[in-house]
Structure 1
């Protein structure tokens, strides 16, 4: 695919994600758009979908190859997708990210910022915080199984 066509598809993907248009996201990904593309500010489609709480769009992007722990770098849109959904209490999108391997303990700002659980707790999103606590516990037992 030519670079010009790739850029055009990537712009269409961003527009579809911004609109929360599941059908269009699916079509653009099917036509070869990269879910890992960043806009001029460094924002990823997955981060944008996460902030908006678009769980189905998040799922499509992850299934298309977006990396669940990739930190977005756009001005005002920096951080990890899991921190973004936790901050806003988008529990279904949290579940999608966790199901696709997002690290519930990964802090944003290259490891120096808040964790997803801290975002959820500070935002008073109790259901989201509970899902993250359970994921953290589950992950700990996978790494260090109890005899």
Structure 2
């Protein structure tokens, strides 16, 4: 990756962290890769999902970010749908599902918790209902 791409990737993650949709749009237009994480491996889509930034989530997905790419940043690891479900961000959950996120994809290379596990644990009833309607089933041992 060249210097310009690294700089755009850092700026895209930073704009996502602060919820600046206008800046995210501008960076995507400038050629920022919506799929590329920062130097720690944190992806912009994960950050948007964890923060409940549904508009930024949509922008990144439309620009080509994969709904199921697992973020690997320190303290920011997991799938975008798990992050949104964990915090009960139902609008973001809905956006991710609409763009093909797998409601049964578990974190940690498919060995950890599922989005539904997180929604159930967090007592996020609306997110739980959305995921269940999308075909999610609890991981072995999880209870509803």
Is this a same-fold pair by TM over 0.5?
yes
Aligned residue number for residue 56 of structure 1: 55
| Structure 1 Cα separation of the partners of residues 10 and 55 of structure 2 | 19
Higher helix share: 1
Deviation of the 1:46 alpha carbon: 0.5
Q: Provide the rounded CA distance (Å) in 2 between the counterparts of 1:34 and 1:110.
A: 22
Q: Aligned ranges for residues 1-147 of structure 1 at < 5 Å?
A: 3-136=2-135
Q: CA deviation at 1:7?
A: 1.6
Deviation at 1:75, TM superposition (A): 1.4
| Inter-partner Cα distance in structure 2 for 1:15 and 1:110 | 26
TM-score, with length taken from structure 1 = 0.89
SS in 2 for 1:78: strand
Aligned residues: 136
Unaligned runs of 5+ in 2: 137-144
**What's the offset of the Cα at 1:37?**
1.1
Which 4+ stretches in 1 moved above 2 angstroms?
none
Provide the aligned C-alpha RMSD in A.
1.2
- Scaled by the length of structure 2, the TM-score of the pair is 0.91
